[in-house]
Amino acid sequence: MASSTDNSANLDLTTCSICFETFKTPKYFPCLHSFCEGCIKTYITTTFVQTKGGVNCPVCRMHVSKPQGVRIEEWSSELPTNHILVSLIDMNESKLGQKLCMPCSRENETESASSWCINCGEALCKLCERYHRKQKSSITHKLIDIGNYETTDLQRNYVDIPCTEHPDKNVEAYCRDHSAICCMTCAFLKHRNCKNVGSIHDAAEEMKKSREVEDFSDALQGFKNTLDAKLQYTLDNLHEFDKDIEKMKVDVDTLFIKLSNHLSQLKSDILSKISKIEKEVRPEIEDKHDEIKCKISTIQNDLALFQTNMEYAPPAQFLQAMEKLMEQRSILEQFVNEESQKLKEIRVTFDANEKLLEIEKAIKVFGEVDIRRTNRTDMVRSTGKQVDMSSVVPNLSSEVIVQFAATGIAVLENSQLLLSNCGGKSIELCDHQCSSVLSSLSLPGYPCGIKMTSDTEGAVAVLGHGLIIFNIKNNQITKIKEIRTNVNRDFVYHQGKYYVGCNKNIAVYDSNHRKVRDISVDNNVDYMAVRDDTSMCYTVFGGRKLYCITMDGTPVFTYSHDKLQYTRGVTVDHAGYIYVCGYWSNNVHQLSHDGKLQRIIFDNLPPWPRCVSFNKHGDKAVIGCDGKVLSYDIK
């Protein structure tokens, strides 16, 4: 690379925006941003996306398509050279002193330049000049003595630009009718009927003096002044925004501490009362337990005496012993009868404050964070609410080919994707575009439905095996535990419990992964989703309906449609809309909260969509099909 530039310069046109050093063979994109040939080559080869067929400019992000027939590795050399920058760099270097050979500099060698190649726009040492004159590709290039290059007129007049129509010829003419530069062949053939064709030199001088160029310069300066003011405004906005964020965090922490302290005191009070009751009542139960245990011991002793006397005692001793045992029997019989009537079960109950019980239902959020977007001119205010899912338009942002059927998808908080790789018997953590796998976890069977149960913990249903509980930390998936159950394809997690879809029932497991009950249903449950706090939805393997039931199994509604064939994956977005995949109809239906068709929001999908998932804001949707993962921006 070349020497570093002076950072104090406000705008240095000779500095590459990738390496931040003086350009080496500057090449430019259609957006006119220039880069070193080596820098842009590295950028292209590392960021080229096959499905998009090009790259984005590193400066302005404009998409640049790769020319047909050009290999990625050769694309940078095919880009046009910015001869103006070459001349500008060389003028600067000539003012600084001795000019160095450019090819040698690229090899980190220092050699004084003796000539200048007009066609390549490069300074050459004597050895490189000899090779330059011998090579077939440069044998016709015009070389001048390096001392003559410092002449401004030479720099302006000797920059040859090849014609786009005839690469072996340089442009010499300018057609004012078409606003195009061309070679003399084009001038005689393509522009022979044009009335305003002249030399490049005359056209350039005329344009420099025109009102159009003056207006252009004034307009650019005006744009810059306006954007400078807006730039300062955004800096001020960032400062104020950061202050708002910090204040909100302090306010939230203060409120949380206040509530926590109050609840902690209430908890301490009730626990003290419970301890007092325990100390008073437990001895009573223990005393009764000891008394009964003592009587049982007496009975066991009497039985032993009775059996011994029956077998071994002489007649007189037997009669005497039986008389005493009969007396003991009367006492024991009286005790048993009395205890049967007096014995009471002592239990304690906790009746929570009704207002505390209502907190969970009454308080759904800790507070509201309102984003205020204020236009500086008309002071329009935006509420900053989440996406309105009733009228959004999905825009396909990526379509990634995968070598498996994605049978389950979860969109994480950071937009990363969790995929169930059915054929590979694994789950995979991918980047937000599903273009690279960050980590994976091998499974004992075929994975299907996958969901996050917290910010870092999740579970996946393994067909016929059970649920695998895992966590994600530092982009690594680690197995925690498993729940062995005859799961079909999916489960839901609601209020600390796992509801697992099985044949003719939904098995419920508590937070300790212990089965607590079964919910009977009429079908073999396939994919599942929580609808709200009191209900859930599920599909049936091979069926054409979506079922909604309460958390205890009571039917709420059933949905079917002619254009919904073979229901599979189901999910619910942040706004309460329900989405169900049509495996054979290749679509996704959007339903209202009460099960009415809102619209077929995704149609004509690639074959066999199995699952659909949204991020929590509702502005991104991901659909898993056979061999493809589709990502949509929701606007």
Give one DSSP letter per residue of 387-415, joined into a string.
Answer: P-TTT--EEEEEEEEEEEEEEEEEE-TTS
pLDDT-derived band at 3, boundaries 50, 70, 90: very low
Round to whole Å and give the CA distance between 324 and 306: 10
* Of 297, 317, 335, the domain-final residue: 335
Whether 360 is in a domain gets the answer no
User: 195 and 226 in one domain?
Assistant: no
Q: Is 434 in the same domain as 491?
A: yes
Which one-letter DSSP state was computed for residue 328?
H
319 and 252 co-located in one domain: yes
588: part of which helix (H) or strand (E)? strand 587-591
**Domain final residue, candidates 209, 244, 264:** 209
> Are 292 and 420 part of one and the same domain?
no
CA distances from 53 to 39, 564, 620 (A): 20, 35, 23
- 532 in the same domain as 460: yes
In one-letter notation, the amino acid at residue 525 is: V
Q: What is the mean pLDDT of residues 14-20?
A: 88
Q: What pLDDT was estimated at residue 565? A: 92
Do 251 and 173 share a structural domain?
no
For residue range 406-454, list pLDDT tens digits in order: 999 999 988 899 999 988 999 999 988 888 899 999 999 999 999 999 8
pLDDT tier at 404 (50, 70, 90 boundaries)? confident
Of the three residues 335, 354, 372, the one that is the final residue of a domain is 335
Q: Per the domain annotation, does 348 fall within a domain?
A: no
Q: Same domain, yes or no, for 311 and 170?
A: no
Residues 495 and 586 in one domain: yes
Q: What integer is the mean pLDDT of 511-517?
A: 88
| Whether the predicted model's global pTM rises above the 0.75 cut | no
Domain that residue 419 falls in: 394-634
Three-state DSSP state, 473: strand
The answer to whether residues 269 and 398 belong to one domain is no
Q: Which of 79, 98, 95 is nearest to 87 (CA)?
A: 95
Query: Which CATH number belongs to the domain containing residue 448 in this structure?
Result: 2.120.10.30
Give per-residue pLDDT as tens, 262-284.
Answer: 999 999 999 999 999 999 999 98
Do 461 and 590 lie in a common domain? Answer: yes
Asked if residue 401 belongs to a domain, the reply is: yes
- Kindly report, residue by residue over 329-374, the tens digit of the pLDDT: 888 888 888 887 888 888 888 888 888 877 777 777 777 777 766 5
- Both 330 and 452 in one domain: the answer is no
The verdict on 236 and 330 lying in the same domain is yes
Tally: H helices and E strands in the chain: 11, 31
The larger pLDDT score, comparing residue 430 to residue 85, is at: 430
Q: Indicate the SS3 state at residue 141.
A: coil
Domain count across the chain: 3
